[in-house]
Amino acid sequence: MRRPIPTSRLAVPLLIVTFGAGLLLSGSPRVEAQRAAAGPPDWPCVQRLIPELAWGTIWTGPSLDELEKRWWEDEEVGRVARFATSRDTPNAQALERVRGFVASLDDDEAERRLTLLFAGLFELTDRQRGRAIDAVRQSARAQVARLDTISAMVNELEALRADEGADPEDIERLSEALFWEQRTFQMRQQTLPAMCEQPYLLEETLGLMVRVIMERMP
């Protein structure tokens, strides 16, 4: 005797495919307008996509193009920059480390070494932002591919249901697989807003550290 097929698996709505595509690719007219101005199709965030930072927009000190040495060649600057931008360093500790370094400098070396510090903080932060942006775009592309998979599975399931000779166990297996594919899509979709925030949180932290540096600049 064949087992009954659980209705929770059989009642797989096509709506989720349409709904999921809407979440990922369109949304409300307002969000659609925001996305249209935000960047390419694989950028699902409402925030505008800025792939790279421009140091001149946040720094009013000496030009980084005219530095006589690299920031990491100053060992202490390198340590401070790496500690302050490490993913394992809380923002409060990062700011405290920068403040301590700023306060330790003599006036005659402050401008030169603070410029080096900014160069390090900027480069490392921009690098992290780039990785965060790449992660968002990769996740968005994976979600689009997952929607295609779900759509194909829905079509296959509907064809099986329409076939009077189809094995109910085949229908149950496909329903189960589709259920978990949908669950995965929904869970990944819920993480996207937090991922979208990461580049801007990094930029915000950099801005706070730059403010501390600029307070000491001549």
- Please, are residues 24 and 189 in contact by the beta-carbon 8 Å criterion? yes
Stretch 172-190: mean pLDDT: 94
- Please, are residues 26 and 147 in contact by the beta-carbon 8 Å criterion? no
Q: CA quadruple 66, 67, 69, 70: dihedral positive or negative?
A: negative
Stretch 189-210: mean pLDDT: 95
Instruction: Give the Cα separation of 171 and 5 in Å (integer).
Output: 8
- Please, are residues 129 and 203 in contact by the beta-carbon 8 Å criterion? yes
The answer to whether residue 89 scores a pLDDT higher than 90 is yes
Stretch 128-147: mean pLDDT: 95
Q: Is 61 exposed, middle or buried (0-12, 13-18, 19+ CB in 10 A)?
A: middle
The answer to whether residue 33 scores a pLDDT higher than 80 is no
The answer to whether residue 18 scores a pLDDT higher than 50 is no
Residue 160's CB: how many other CB atoms inside 10 A?
A: 16
Stretch 176-182: mean pLDDT: 95
Higher-scoring residue by pLDDT: 164, 109: 109
The pLDDT assigned to 125 comes to 97
The residue count of the chain comes to 218
State pTM to two decimals. 0.77
What confidence category does residue 68 fall into, taking pLDDT thresholds of 50, 70 and 90?
confident
Lowest mean pLDDT, pick from 23-32, 152-161, 165-174: 23-32
The answer to whether residue 184 scores a pLDDT higher than 80 is yes
What does each C-alpha distance from 67 to 70, 86, 116, 117 come to in angstroms?
7, 24, 8, 11
Stretch 118-129: mean pLDDT: 97
